[in-house]
Amino acid sequence: MVEESGGLDALETPCLLLDSDRLKANVAAMRARLDGLGVVLRPHLKTAKSRDVARIAMASEAGPATVSTLREAEYFAEGGVRDLIYAVGIAPQKLERVGRIRRAWRTDLAIILDSVEQAQAVADWSRRNGDRLPVLIEVDADGHRSGVTPQDSARLVAIGRVLAEGASLRGVLLHAGDSYGLSDPGALRAAAEAERTAAVTAAATLRDAGLPCPVVSVGSTPTARYADRLDGITEVRAGVFMIGDLFQAGVGSCAVDDIALTVLATVIGHQREKGWIITDAGWMALSRDRGTARQAVDQGYGVACDRAGRPYPDLIVRDANQEHGILAVRTGSAAALPDLPVGARLRILPNHACATGAQHDRYHEIAGGHLTGAVWPRINGW
Amino acid sequence: MVEESGGLDALETPCLLLDSDRLKANVAAMRARLDGLGVVLRPHLKTAKSRDVARIAMASEAGPATVSTLREAEYFAEGGVRDLIYAVGIAPQKLERVGRIRRAWRTDLAIILDSVEQAQAVADWSRRNGDRLPVLIEVDADGHRSGVTPQDSARLVAIGRVLAEGASLRGVLLHAGDSYGLSDPGALRAAAEAERTAAVTAAATLRDAGLPCPVVSVGSTPTARYADRLDGITEVRAGVFMIGDLFQAGVGSCAVDDIALTVLATVIGHQREKGWIITDAGWMALSRDRGTARQAVDQGYGVACDRAGRPYPDLIVRDANQEHGILAVRTGSAAALPDLPVGARLRILPNHACATGAQHDRYHEIAGGHLTGAVWPRINGW
C-alpha cells in the first residue's frame, strides 16, 4: 500500500475518509455475484447518502436504487435518479411528499406497506390525485420486524386487490434482517434461501389470485453475499456491502481489508500508566453503535489503524465519550501500545458504516492510498 | 397538561420536540442550586448545540459557556458568546483555529491540556502569534479518562510553569465522568465531594508553587445535582441537566417528568400477534445510545409517550433498526398495548439527549403544551 502524502495533516479531525478503490471493488464484486445469479442490483443508498457514492454503486445515473427516507428520495431524485423504492412502511401523511417527488423530478418512486388500511389510504390518495402510486407489499422474511407473513394468503390478496384496483401493485419486497445475527456460512446460506422462498411464495399467492407481481425484491448484505441461487427473484437490495464495516466482517459478509470507511482522528492525550491513548474521535464521530459487542470479537467502538489504514495489532477504541475515544490494547493481548504522541493522526475502522457515516456531512476520498482532494458531501435527516 | 393543538400533525416525522417550559425550569433549578453554593454556572452547550437554547441556559448573551468542539466555539462566538472554554484536550494542529476564533469574534476562548508537551506547543504558538492563549490544566477527578492526577504535583507544576511563562495559566478543570455510573444519592454526594477535593488539591499545588490559579472549574450533571458544598470551586460546567434524559433519570439527576426532549414519531405498521407497534423513529432518529441497558431499568431505545408527552404504561422502544422503531410493552408487564393505528403520532423520550439531539438539525419548540411554531436550528459536526 502506498503511504498517503501528508494531506491527512491538513484535515480537521475527526472526519471521514472513504477509500474509493475499496468502494469500487466491493460494488464490482457484488455486481458480478448478482449478474451470475441473474438478478438486478438495486443498491440501498442509506449507508452512504452521497450522490458520488451512488454513481459508483448504481448501474446507471438513473438508478435503480433504494432509499430509507423521503429526504434521501428528494436528494437522489434531484441528482438524476429516476427509479427508487422508499423501503420503509408508508404513513398516510407522507403520501403528499411522495407525490411531489414523483412530479417534481419525474421519478418512479415506489412505496411499501403491509396492511389493508395503508393500501386503502394509498388507493384513496391515488384516485384523488390521478397518480396511481406504485406499491410493493412488504413480506416478512424471518420475523425480524415488518411485513405480512408469506403464509397469510388472505391478507396478501386483500392488500393486493385494493392496490391493483386503486393504485399500482408492483410486487413484493422482503428484508432478511435476522441474517445480521448470524456468522456461520451454512446458516447464512439457509437464511438467504429462506428469504428467497418467502418471496417466491408470496409472489405466487398474488399471481394465483390473478394479481400482478412483476417485481420480487429481496435484500440484505449477508443474504446477498451468501445466496446460492435466486430463482424467482428479480432484484436484490443491499447497501452496507459497498462500504463494509466491522460488524459485517463479524458476520462474514466482508473482510476487514474490504472496509472502505475510516474516521481520521488525532491523539489528544495519554494515560500511560493505564495503557490508554486518548483521541478526538469519540462516540459523536464514531456513533454509539456497539453491534460487535454481540459478536464473537467485540471491537469496542472500532479498530485503530495507522495513517495508511493498516490495523495496529489488537488496538481498539475501548471506550468513548462524546468527543473522546480511549484507545487500549484488547484485554488479554500482549501487543505493545504504539508510540503515538499528541498530534499524531490515526484512522478508526467503524463498527457500523450506516451509523458512523450519519455523524458526518462529508467524505474525503482516498484513492491509490492518497487523498485525492475530492470532498463528497452526504446528507442526513428526514 | 394542555393537549397540543393539532400542529403536531403538520410536522414531518421523525423530528425533535423541545419543551421550553421544562428547559427553563431545569435551568432555573440548577442556577438556584449553584447560586446557593456560591459558584458560577458555565453551562455546557454540547447537548443542545443551539443558540436559542444557549440564550436560556447562559447568565447573559455573552456567556460564560462550555463547548466540546471548535465548530461549536465558532457557532456560539458568531452568535455573540464571548467567554468560552473548549473542554476537550487540545491538539497542536487546532491552535490556529483557536486563534482565529479569538480574533474573529474577540472571544475569550480558553483551552485545556494535561501534558508538558501540549503546554510547550501552546506556549510556542502563543509566542509566535502574540496571543497568550488562556489554558486550564485538566485534572483527573476519578480515573474516568484524561487529566493529571491531583497527587502528581511535579507534573502539575511543570505544566503550570510552561504555561505561566509562555501562555496564560487560568486554572484547573475537572469532570467527574464516573458519576454517570452511579445511582445511589450517597455515592453521588461522595463523587461530588471527591471531584471538589481533587480540584482544590490541584489548585493548592499550583498556588503553593507560586503559580496563578484563578479558575477552579468542575462539572458533570450528576455531581452538580448532588454536591453538598463547593468551597474552593469557582464554576460548574454541566450540560445535559438542562434537557435531561432517561439515563440521567436512572442516575437520579432528574425526574422523567423533567425531560424536555422527545422525538415525534408516526406509526407505520403493526405485528399484532407479537404485540409490536412499528414507528418511523428508528435508531437514526433516536441514536444508537443504549446507556440505560447498564442501569436498573433498561428503557430499550426510549419510552413511548402520547401526543401530550405522557408516558404510556411500560411501553418502550424495544428494538430499533435504522428507520424503524419497534414498540412493545416491557417484558413482565401486564400493561395493555395502546390502540395506535397507522398514521398515529406519539413521542419518544430519549436515553441520552446529547446523542439523540445530534441526529437532528432542529428543534420544534413546545410551550404551554402547544407547538409555538418556533424552529430552533442546531449544529453538528466539527
- Give per-residue pLDDT as tens, A16-48: 999 999 999 999 999 999 999 999 999 999 999
Phi, psi of A78 (to 5 degrees): -60, -30
Chain B positions touching A319 (Cβ under 8 A) are 145
Within a domain: B177: yes
Query: Do B289 and A288 lie within an 8 Å CB cutoff?
Result: yes
Give the pLDDT of residue B200. 98
B279 lies in the same domain as B354: yes
Give the pLDDT of residue A5. 52
Nearest CA in chain A to B149: A271
Give the pLDDT of residue B88. 98
Using DSSP's 3-state secondary structure scheme, residue A311 falls into strand
CA distance B341 to B268: 8
Give yes or no for a contact between B67 and B50, defined as CB atoms under 8 angstroms apart.
no
Give the pLDDT of residue B380. 98
How far is B331 from chain A, CA to nearest CA, in Å?
Answer: 18
Chain A positions touching B90 (Cβ under 8 A) are 268
CA distance A122 to B113: 58
- Give per-residue pLDDT as tens, B301-327: 999 999 999 999 999 999 999 999 999
Nearest Cβ partner of B355 from A91, A288, A326? Answer: A288
Nearest to B136 by CA among B244, B31, B234: B234
Give yes or no for a contact between B76 and B99, defined as CB atoms under 8 angstroms apart.
no
Find the radius of gyration of the CA atoms of chain A: 22
Best probe of the B interface among A93, A148, A221, by most B CBs < 10 A, is A93
How far is B339 from chain A, CA to nearest CA, in Å?
Answer: 14
Give yes or no for a contact between A169 and A214, defined as CB atoms under 8 angstroms apart.
no
How far is B239 from chain A, CA to nearest CA, in Å?
Answer: 12
Within a domain: A54: yes
Give the confidence band of B6 by pLDDT, cuts at 50, 70, 90: low
| Lowest mean pLDDT, pick from A120-124, A303-307, B181-185 | B181-185
Nearest Cβ partner of B91 from A91, A266, A319? Answer: A266
Within a domain: B321: yes
- CA B43, B48, B50, B55 dihedral sign is negative
Find the CATH number of the domain harbouring A354.
2.40.37.20
How far is B82 from chain A, CA to nearest CA, in Å?
Answer: 22
Give the confidence band of A375 by pLDDT, cuts at 50, 70, 90: very high
Q: What is the average pLDDT across B330-353?
A: 97
A33 lies in the same domain as A142: yes
Half-sphere exposure of A297 (CA within 13 A, CB side): 19
Query: Do A382 and B14 lie within an 8 Å CB cutoff?
Result: yes
Chain B positions touching A90 (Cβ under 8 A) are 268
Is residue B30's pLDDT more than 90?
yes
A26 lies in the same domain as A93: yes
Judged on CB neighbours under 10 Å (0-12, 13-18, 19+), A3 is exposed
Chain A positions touching B360 (Cβ under 8 A) are 381
| Placement of cell 469496542 in the chain | A300
Nearest Cβ partner of B177 from A14, A283, A321? Answer: A321
- Give per-residue pLDDT as tens, A46-60: 999 999 999 999 999
A327 lies in the same domain as A267: yes
Question: Final residue of a domain: which of B191, B222, B242?
Answer: B242
A225 lies in the same domain as A372: no
Give the confidence band of A329 by pLDDT, cuts at 50, 70, 90: very high
Within a domain: B44: yes
CA distance B185 to B222: 10
Q: What is the average pLDDT across A110-136?
A: 98
- How many C-beta atoms surround the C-beta of residue A207 within 10 A? 12
Within a domain: A161: yes
- Give per-residue pLDDT as tens, B151-170: 999 999 999 999 999 999 99
The DSSP code for A154 is H
B79 lies in the same domain as B209: yes
B194 lies in the same domain as B263: no
Cell numbers of B368, please? 404551554
How far is A91 from chain B, CA to nearest CA, in Å?
Answer: 5
Give the pLDDT of residue B296. 96
Give the pLDDT of residue B1. 41
Cell numbers of A174, please? 422482503
- How many C-beta atoms surround the C-beta of residue B379 within 10 A? 17
Nearest CA in chain B to A68: B323
Which residues lie closer than 8 Å to B30 by C-beta, 6 or more apart?
B41, B224, B225, B238, B241, B242
Query: Do A358 and B359 lie within an 8 Å CB cutoff?
Result: yes
Query: Do B88 and A280 lie within an 8 Å CB cutoff?
Result: yes
User: Left (φ > 0), alpha (ψ -120 to 50) or beta: where does A106 sit?
Assistant: left
Give the pLDDT of residue A6. 65
CA distances from A194 to A31, A38, A64, A95, A188 (A): 22, 18, 25, 32, 10
- Give per-residue pLDDT as tens, A330-360: 999 999 999 999 999 999 999 999 999 999 9
CA distance A302 to A283: 10
Nearest to A47 by CA among B265, B358, B322, B283: B322
Give yes or no for a contact between A34 and A60, defined as CB atoms under 8 angstroms apart.
no
B236 lies in the same domain as B268: no
- Give per-residue pLDDT as tens, A125-176: 999 999 999 999 999 999 989 999 999 999 999 999 999 999 999 999 999 9
User: Is ipTM strictly over 0.90?
Assistant: yes
Angle subtended at Cα B213 by Cα B207 and Cα B215, rounded to the nearest 5 degrees: 150
How far is B314 from chain A, CA to nearest CA, in Å?
Answer: 20
A32 lies in the same domain as A11: no
How, if at all, do strands B325-329 and B276-279 pair? Answer: antiparallel
Give the confidence band of A3 by pLDDT, cuts at 50, 70, 90: very low
Within a domain: B248: no
Structural domains of chain A, count:
2
Phi, psi of B157 (to 5 degrees): -70, -40
Cell numbers of A22, please? 475499496
B38 lies in the same domain as B66: yes
Is residue B179's pLDDT more than 70?
yes
Estimate the crossing angle of helix B70-78 against helix B95-104, to 10 degrees: 10
- A48-74 b/e (C-beta count within 10 Å ≥ 16 → b): bbbbbbbebbbeeeebbbbbbbbbbbb
Within a domain: B65: yes
Tell me the DSSP string of A256-286: GGG--EEEEEEEEEEEGGGTEEEES--HHHH
Using DSSP's 3-state secondary structure scheme, residue B349 falls into strand
Give the pLDDT of residue B250. 97
B197 lies in the same domain as B269: no
Q: Count of A–B CB contacts within 8 Å?
A: 161
Find the CATH number of the domain harbouring B200.
3.20.20.10
Nearest CA in chain A to B342: A91
Nearest CA in chain A to B320: A145
For B319, the domain range is 7-16+254-377
Number of H helices, E strands in chain A: 11, 17
- Give per-residue pLDDT as tens, B237-278: 999 999 999 999 999 999 999 999 999 999 999 999 999 999
Question: Final residue of a domain: which of A242, A266, A288?
Answer: A242
Could you give the percent of chain A with pLDDT greater than 70?
A: 98
- Give per-residue pLDDT as tens, B83-134: 999 999 999 999 999 999 999 999 999 999 999 999 999 999 999 999 999 9
How far is B11 from chain A, CA to nearest CA, in Å?
Answer: 9
Query: Do A381 and B360 lie within an 8 Å CB cutoff?
Result: yes
B154 lies in the same domain as B205: yes
Phi, psi of B18 (to 5 degrees): -125, 120
Is residue A94's pLDDT more than 90?
yes
CA distance B156 to B150: 8
Question: Final residue of a domain: which of A242, A273, A299?
Answer: A242
CA distance A262 to A258: 11
Is residue A291's pLDDT more than 90?
yes
Query: Do A290 and B288 lie within an 8 Å CB cutoff?
Result: yes
Within a domain: A45: yes
Cell numbers of A190, please? 439457509
Give the pLDDT of residue A1. 41
Nearest Cβ partner of B278 from A89, A270, A359? Answer: A89
